[in-house]
Amino acid sequence: MRKGLVVLLAAVLVVAFALPAMADVSFFGYARVIPVYYRDFDFAKGQPDAAIATEAGTATGEAIRGELRLGWKAGGDKWKIMMTTESDLLYSQFNVDRSSGSNGSFFGIERAEFTYAFSPAFELITGWPISAADIGTGGVLYGDDHPIIGFRGKLTDNFKYPALYIPIFNAPVANQPTVSGDWRAYLLKPEFSVGTGGANMSLNPILMFSDNRANNAKIMYYGLEGIGQFGFIKPSFEVIVADGEFRTTPVRNIKSYAAFAGVELGLSKAFNPYIAGRYTKGDDNTTDTDVEGFVGITDIGRFTPLMGMDGNILGESLSAGTYYNSFLYSYAPDRGVGGNNYGGFGNASSGNNPGSKIVALGAKGTLDQFVKKLSYKTQIFGIWFDKTENLPHPKSAAIADKYAGTTLDVMLKYAFSKNFYASYIFSALLPGDGIKDQQPATADDTYAMVNTVNLFWAY
């Protein structure tokens, strides 16, 4: 075990013994072990598989990821602190006890949140907890555990807000002022609740400014999010407009938008079907000064409530195959084509990307009437590119077809106890002509697949 880990744990114990005179401190944590098998993300059977980016590093074929967290929290009438340490690693000799094989295996503070409520309407918040603009709907704009500082509050029973400053990057560029490497974002989201009981709606304007100094781009995002419940009917939607520019010569104008809408029907514990659609606009010409491919701060589609699934294929790094080119957590092919980058995971998503249209059908529920403590979620996506003029098309005489493919996700989860559960996900992407047209003539168009097991211990 590394000396640094021993010192850190010793410091934690010292603080734990010293604090009870001031506040109650509680510990919590979990161990999440995820055996996973990736196959044919390049849609070419028999070829060596490309490396897949995960939170713990890159993996090829089968791998076992361990997400191990230890946290503690304390608080009083007006203040709270929470910190979570983490080691996120891929099982191998060099990533575990030696901890030298991957950035994901380094041990440190993964999440932190510190708050002080001056009043119900004015609460200071800082640290690096999960923060989001639209994770409750389509997730096209922003969700991540970036560092933040700002305020939130509840002004009335029907009105609350967060106002956050998000310093995503603060990296110098060689021989230039420090700020030239910066990427900073600002979020304001007033949240208005209308109605009560079984008929209610939350309508939430979204204002987010991306000061992307690293790429010399400034973008204002305007949006509206709605989440409601009317009896057993649960609608949700969002619309986000991106308006900005690259401050270059000549100036390149960023004009794009994205949208989501869905309805879930709470028919019974065993069967809750949903239908949803998700859209991100694409670009059709890389040579003009109009940048029309939608890029959010961080697309978080994988963790959204209707279409999301933690471990399905569309939320993995399909950029490994290059043909759909979505990165980890993103449902949009926002790394496609390249050039005119103005956001996305790692600030690497392209304003020349083809965009996407996704139509989803799914259902979830518990199966207690058959097997106690067994639940499921299953869904099927039809996926189209919005624009394909910028995509390569070796197999097609004209531009590439728009139909990207079909995905199928099936998840089963069994809770053995309140402290341990196991789940299994089968997820596959059958390529459509929009992917096939981009492949070499010799490609055999096989389907991509991921099998994910999640073993979860919590306390």
Residue 356, in any domain of the structure: yes
Residue 101, in any domain of the structure: no
Full-model pTM: 0.91
CA angle in degrees (0–180, nearest 5) for 174-179-182: 95
Residue 196, in any domain of the structure: yes
In the numeric block, the tokens 């500082």 are attached to 149
Q: Mark the ranges of the chain whose per-residue pLDDT is less than 70.
A: 1-22, 97-106, 172-178
Residue 311, in any domain of the structure: yes
Domains: count for the chain? 1
What does the pLDDT read at residue 441?
82
Q: What is the DSSP string of 348-367?
A: -EETT---EEEEEEEEEEE-
CA separation for the pair 105, 100 (Å, rounded): 7
Residues shown for the chain: 459
Domain of residue 228, CATH code = 2.40.160.100
Residue 36, in any domain of the structure: no
What does the pLDDT read at residue 68?
94
Residue 13, in any domain of the structure: no
What does the pLDDT read at residue 105?
57
Amino acid symbol at 301: G
Residue 8, in any domain of the structure: no
Tens digit of each residue's pLDDT (9 = 90 or more) over 155-192: 999 999 999 999 998 876 666 666 777 999 999 999 99
18 three-class SS: helix
Whether omega for the bond prior to residue 250 falls within 30 degrees of 0, making it cis, is yes
CA separation for the pair 376, 316 (Å, rounded): 20
Q: Would you say 350 and 341 are in contact if contact means Cβ atoms under 8 Å apart?
A: yes
Enter the DSSP assignment of 17: H
CA separation for the pair 381, 249 (Å, rounded): 41
Question: Could you tell me the residue range of the domain that residue 184 belongs to?
Answer: 120-458
What does the pLDDT read at residue 102?
56
Tens digit of each residue's pLDDT (9 = 90 or more) over 206-253: 999 999 999 999 999 999 999 999 999 999 999 999 999 999 999 999
Residue 173, in any domain of the structure: yes
